[in-house]
Amino acid sequence: MAENTFRERIANALNDAVLRGALGKFGEVFPEARANVYKGIDFEALRQQIKDIKCNTVSKVEELADRFEKEATKRGAVVYRAGTAEDVKKYIAELAKKHNAKSIVKSKSMVSEEIHLNEYLEKQGIQMIETDLGEWIVQHAGEKPSHMVMPAIHMPKERVAKTFTAALKREIAPDIPLMVKTARSELRDKFLTADMGISGANIAVAETGTLCMFTNEGNGRLTATLPPVHIFLVGYEKLVEKLSDVPVIAKALPKSATAQNLTSYVTMITGPVETLIDDKIVKKEFHIILIDNGRRKMMEDPKFKEAAQCIRCASCLNVCPVFQMVSGHVYGHIYTGGIGTILTAFFNSMQEAKNPQNLCIGCRRCVEFCPGKIDIPKLILELRKRIVDKESLPFTQHVVLENVLTNRKLFHTMLRQASWAQKPFSKGTQFIRHLPFFLSEMAEWRSLPAIAEVPFRDRFPKIKQQQATKGKVSFFSGCLIDFAYPEIGESLVESVNKLGYEVVFPEKQSCCGAPARYMGEIKVAQVLAKQNIEALENGEVQYILSACPTCTESIKHDWAELLKDDEGWLKRAKAVSDKVLDYAKFVAEVKGETSAKTSDKAQSKKKVTYHDSCHLKRSLGVWEEPRKLLAEKEGLELVEMKESDRCCGFGGSYSLKMPQIASQLLERKIQNIIDSGADIVAVDCPGCMLNIKGGLDKKGSRIQVKHTAEILNDK
């Protein structure tokens, strides 16, 4: 898909109010419904079990495929192992020819969508009948599924009714029960007269040659029972070794997919069964097609084999703030959302994943929900890295990253100069409201912070610190605090010093490398990691503190990962990462258990609401600590906003790459903040601060945005 078509699709999706209404509503109710159905189940333990099952599959997929083939054949199935989409289509076309098949009923199969089976067989004069309601609707609307579990979730009932009306050539009202009944009666004859049935499988059990289907409508049972020939389409990644693996996946799949305890029907088929034709009992002909089409390459890849842990529940789509706004069709291919982008890279090509991979904002919400324990954002970054390796970023961007970021003095000099250059635009306030030329889009929907006249690194020596009794800590400021919000750094130093620690500021620290990493520029990120490790190595300090969760995360997890191939550097990276803590976590730890405020003498309390940074909550597991600290602070009352851990839309360079999506995420966040009735929004991430401050300023709101360090340091 061309770049401009891609942008156009996003713009259209964002302007489609009906689409957003339907998806948004579902996005709101799904997490709660899902949580209810998982009540009393240890989700962490369950998903570890699923991961183990799937890792076992990945480690010996050929062996399991052989075993499956042997067992299923023993039971009378014909097993065909197909390499490509083309192989599958030819095989089915030949079978259809052999049986003189005029019509084929299909229960849901994403593989058949992936290989565009309907189009192929229809050209040969065979009537292809989708029997899953959602699939039937998209088939007759001339579309593709937008979601792998709920193919027609993007369509309002009025559009569905139009599709029914056109397909059946009689007026059908937009009445959901009526349309469902109509589907039953219209399709009944098709089931009864079909020459062949095609189904998809959720699980293939190697030790017994069994295929499992989880369905709700009953079309799967009819497709498997009525026609004399039945074909199953099964991807290699659906294999599991043991029958006892089935109940484990059955425990998670319906809960994560549709918040059901179990689907209405679970069907397990081993070999051909009988059907009834003209009152004669007839043994069915039963074919199983095991399809590769890029799967084995994915499963052999040291990084992307993780994607084979997917059980296709699509809960990652249901909770993705970006998917909820743009729906599935903007991704451009059959598999949608973050996981779909990864599958597209292997089932189609890397090139075809190039545009949709940009849609991931990296908020990590999907990671919380995935029953296969897949780190989808991490895989998306890997995808980005490989695409950048191949194609490289636009020239100017690459030059900036490679030559400016890795040269700290040059980078910092440029930031200092920017403070002067921006003067005409900031008009002496804290914000830049209008920017010239190509930068204007950035400031259109949020004001940008002005670069500070005196950066934190120049202010630090002037901060007076008390004698320390407990020890020493280093402060890693990160670029935003250093050059845009030096006052956060000052508050941090003062408040940490009050807790009995002396703060040192290693001069040679530079950008943590996250922006380069997110753009796929791994070499740049490696250079920065080394520069910073050298700057931070200091035996005298007990902790390294950061007040930017993205920096903390880089130090904690990413530097070691970036340098893992160099033993010496890896050791040094780990020594540094062992010491790093985010500000709120540090304060909570050294303060220990303090009693909740018992005698709050403050006359009038200010209401504070807390916005969770994606990285702090989901990468670093910190969300209770800042709330506790804020609630204990005199004169403050903590109130929760709706969706406090929903991404604000900053996402580093995301807001430059995908401004339309980012601005709508921000709008929702701002509304939730305003609705909370708070006077202050507390944040722990200067990126969120930049974004939320800018959004509130554009709205003319008086709500203050403050870093937790600033609030705790307030007198």
Residues that bind another protein (CB under 8 A): 22, 25-26, 75, 131-134, 137, 150-153, 155-157, 160, 176-177, 179-181, 183-184, 187-188, 191-192, 205, 208-210, 216-219, 221-222, 224-225, 243-244, 246-247, 250-251, 258, 260-279, 281
CB of 371 to another protein, least distance (A): 16
> In terms of CB distance, is 191 or 475 closer to another protein?
191
Widest pairwise Cα distance in the chain: 96
Residue among 54, 52, 65 at smallest CA distance from 236: 65
* Cα of 625 vs its chain's centroid, Å: 25
Q: Are 570 and 560 in contact (CB under 8 A)?
A: yes
Secondary structure (3-state) at 452:
coil
> In terms of CB distance, is 149 or 562 closer to another protein?
149
What is the distance between the alpha carbons of residues 576 and 506, in angstroms, rounded to a whole number? 13
> In terms of CB distance, is 70 or 188 closer to another protein?
188
CB of 48 to another protein, least distance (A): 17
CB of 243 to another protein, least distance (A): 7
CB of 221 to another protein, least distance (A): 5
Q: Name residue 172's amino acid.
A: I
- Name the residue with tokens 């937790």: 708
CB of 249 to another protein, least distance (A): 11
CB of 316 to another protein, least distance (A): 17
> In terms of CB distance, is 278 or 593 closer to another protein?
278
CB of 116 to another protein, least distance (A): 21
Q: Is 125 exposed, middle or buried (0-12, 13-18, 19+ CB in 10 A)?
A: exposed
> In terms of CB distance, is 242 or 571 closer to another protein?
242
CB of 322 to another protein, least distance (A): 19
Q: Is 39 exposed, middle or buried (0-12, 13-18, 19+ CB in 10 A)?
A: exposed
> In terms of CB distance, is 16 or 375 closer to another protein?
16
> In terms of CB distance, is 267 or 550 closer to another protein?
267
Task: Please state whether beta strands 229-235 and 285-291 pair in parallel, antiparallel, or not at all (unpaired).
Answer: parallel
> In terms of CB distance, is 37 or 128 closer to another protein?
37
> In terms of CB distance, is 238 or 412 closer to another protein?
238
What is the distance between the alpha carbons of residues 549 and 292, in angstroms, rounded to a whole number? 40
Q: Name residue 83's amino acid.
A: G
For 103, the token pair is 């019509």
> In terms of CB distance, is 268 or 400 closer to another protein?
268
Residue among 136, 124, 207 at smallest CA distance from 168: 136
| Dihedral angle, C-alpha 514, 520, 523, 524, nearest 10 ° | -40
Within 10 A of 715 (CB to CB), how many other CB atoms are there?
A: 4
Which DSSP string do the residues of 345-368 spell out, in sequence order? HHHT-HHHHTTGGGG-----HHHH
Task: Please state whether beta strands 580-582 and 606-610 pair in parallel, antiparallel, or not at all (unpaired).
Answer: unpaired
CB of 261 to another protein, least distance (A): 5
Residue among 179, 83, 92 at smallest CA distance from 137: 179
CB of 523 to another protein, least distance (A): 46
What is the distance between the alpha carbons of residues 461 and 413, in angstroms, rounded to a whole number? 19
What is the distance between the alpha carbons of residues 660 and 10, in angstroms, rounded to a whole number? 8
> In terms of CB distance, is 153 or 527 closer to another protein?
153
For 191, the token pair is 């089931």
CB of 189 to another protein, least distance (A): 10
CB of 197 to another protein, least distance (A): 13
Q: Are 101 and 195 in contact (CB under 8 A)?
A: yes
> In terms of CB distance, is 160 or 536 closer to another protein?
160
Dihedral sign for Cα atoms in the order 252, 256, 261, 263? negative
Task: Please state whether beta strands 265-270 and 210-215 pair in parallel, antiparallel, or not at all (unpaired).
Answer: antiparallel
